[in-house]
Structures are given as C-alpha cells and as structure tokens.
A = this chain, B = another copy of it.
Amino acid sequence: MILHRLRNYTARVFEGNGKYRRIGRALDVFLMSLIMVNVVAIVLESVGPLAKQYHHEFLMIELISVGIFTLEYVLRLWSCVDKSVHKESPLTNSKIRIKYFFSPLALIDLIAILPTILMVFVSVDLRFLRVLRLMRIFKLTRYSRAMQLLLNSFKEESSSLLAAFFIMAVVLIIASCGIYLIEHDVQPDKFGSIPAAMWWAMVTLTTVGYGDVVPVTPLGRLFGGAITLVSMGMVAIPTGLLASSFSEQLRKRRQVFTDAVHEAVEDGHLSPVEEEHLENLRYKLGLSQQEANKAIHNELKNRNRNLYCRHCGKRQD
C-alpha cells in the first residue's frame, strides 16, 4: 500500500501539476542542468590533455549522472501506470509499461544510459561508445519548447519542404554531372566520379563554398558560375518556408495563451483557479513570465475598452 502511494506520488511529481508544481519544476531544472553538465563534460573529455588531467573527475561526473539517469528511467517506467492520462485506461499495468517503453521519449532515456552501462559491464571502451553518450542531449526534448516548435514547423511544412528538397536533389544531380563531365579530365583527383563531384555541388548550392574543390577550366567556371546563381534560388525556397512557418508556430502558441486568457477574464476578474490554470498553460507553452503578464494585461485593458462584445464575448474587429 505504501509502495502504491509512493508510485502515485512519483507520477504526480514527474507530471508537475497542481500542488506538485513547485517540486516538479525543481526536478525539471535539476535534470536539465545535469544533462547540460554532462554534455559539456563529454565535449571537454574529447580534448586529450584535459581527459588525462581530469580523468578521475570526468569518471565521477559520468558515474553519478548515469546513476541518476538510470534511477530516473526506472522510476518513470515504474510510475508511468499512475499517469493521469491512464486513469481510466482499460489496459493492464504491464501493457502500459510496454507501450511506454517503446515511446520515443523513453527510448531516448534508455539510449542516454546504455553506452555507459555497456562500457562498465562489458568492459569495452571505444571512442564511438563514449561519443554516443552525447545522445543524452536529446533528453532535453522533453523540456524544450523550442525543439517541439521546430518539429511542429517541419510537420506542418513537410509537403512543401519535401517539394523543395526534391527540386534540390534534381539540381544537385544535374550540377554534379555537369561539373564531372567538364572537370573530370583536368582534376581527376577532385572530380573523379559523380558522387565525388556531388561534394562540390552540395557545398556550392548551399552557398557554404569551402573552396577545397573548385572548377579551374574556363568552361567549368562558366558552369560553376551558373550553379552559384542557382544556389541563391535553392537557399531562398527552404529559407522562406521555414522562416514563415517558425514565426507562424510562435504566433499560434501566443494565440492559444491569449485565447485562454480571454476566456478566463470574461467575467471581469481572474480567480485563483483560473490563475493556476493560466500559469500551467504558460509553462507548457514555454512563454516567459513577462510575455504572459503582458498578454493578461492587454486582455484586461481590451475588455475595459469594449473591444469584446459584452453580450456575445466575440472580438469586435
């Protein structure tokens, strides 16, 4: 029975709603900080001299972190059956756990601890495995609204972006074939095959332009010049799509909050329950305290200026 209540308490804290908000957020901040410390440590560990000098410290950070992450993973897996969304679920506990186990966030959590566990138990110590630990940066997805925004942008514009990338692929193939035909005989080491020429084409079409591989014949430079011109168009299309979509996502997010505020202030004042609800929404949407206050302030001001109809509550513009 005690175990049952403990499990329920754990689930509440991870969710961070209601009276568990304070402790839930503290836990979030702690775990985010730990992830960042880990990422910095792994990056610095790749520097030879530092790795030698602070070998012990890096090992301590790693072991403690993995310990905490493992504990977190186990607790999440154990308490997931008590999540509010499963309250009325007809699934058995084990089925919920299996479903949770294969959810993307849980898999990321597992991948974050796996390399170290492998290194410790199987006693392999490969650089590949050590760098793989950086995958735990994806654990931030759970907390980061920015990443969710970007994912939403990609999802919304997926068909347009696919169209843009298809065009890019066609242009890439034409560019690399053209330069291969023209420059192959003069620079066989650099334009030895079409896949090799694709490196030049890619670097040019994205306007990165390293300059390690460049056409040298007059015809090659004429063709290359035409491709640099095309590159401007290639950059323009995804830029326009992503930029407008990202702004749109941010606008929508603010709109959701503004709408909720409007609903809450309809009766002329903010009750503590409404405030609590808005605060939760603000946190979930990743808006800053300042932005939220401004939105609430504006909404109250608009109400007084009769911007909304007193009868039907609809905006009058």
Is A237 among interface residues, defined by CB-CB distance under 8 A? Answer: yes
For the complex formed by this chain, how many copies does it contain in all?
4
Binary flags per residue of A243-261, CB closer than 8 Å to B gives 1, else 0: 1101100100000000000
**Taking the nearest CB of chain B, how far is it from the CB of A29, in angstroms?**
15
Task: Mark A residues whose CB is within 8 Å of B.
Answer: 39, 42-44, 46-48, 127-128, 131, 134, 137, 140, 144-147, 149-150, 158-160, 162-164, 166-168, 170, 173-174, 176-177, 180-181, 184, 192-196, 198-199, 202-204, 206-212, 214, 218, 221, 224-225, 228-229, 231-244, 246-247, 250, 286-288, 291
Residue of B nearest to A161 (CB): B233
Judging by beta carbons under 8 Å apart, are B228 and A232 in contact? no
Q: Please tell me which one of the listed residues B199, B231, B235, B288 contacts residue A159 in the complex, with CB atoms under 8 A apart.
A: B288
Nearest CB of B to A182, in Å: 10
How far is it, in angstroms, between the C-alpha of A46 and the C-alpha of B183 when the chains are bound?
Answer: 13
Question: Do A147 and B160 contact each other (CB < 8 Å), given the known contacts A46-B193, A206-B207, A235-B239?
Answer: no
Q: A46-B195, A170-B137, A180-B46 are in contact. Are A247 and B244 (CB under 8 A)?
A: yes
Q: Which of A202, A207, A232 has the largest count of B CB atoms less than 10 A from its CB?
A: A232
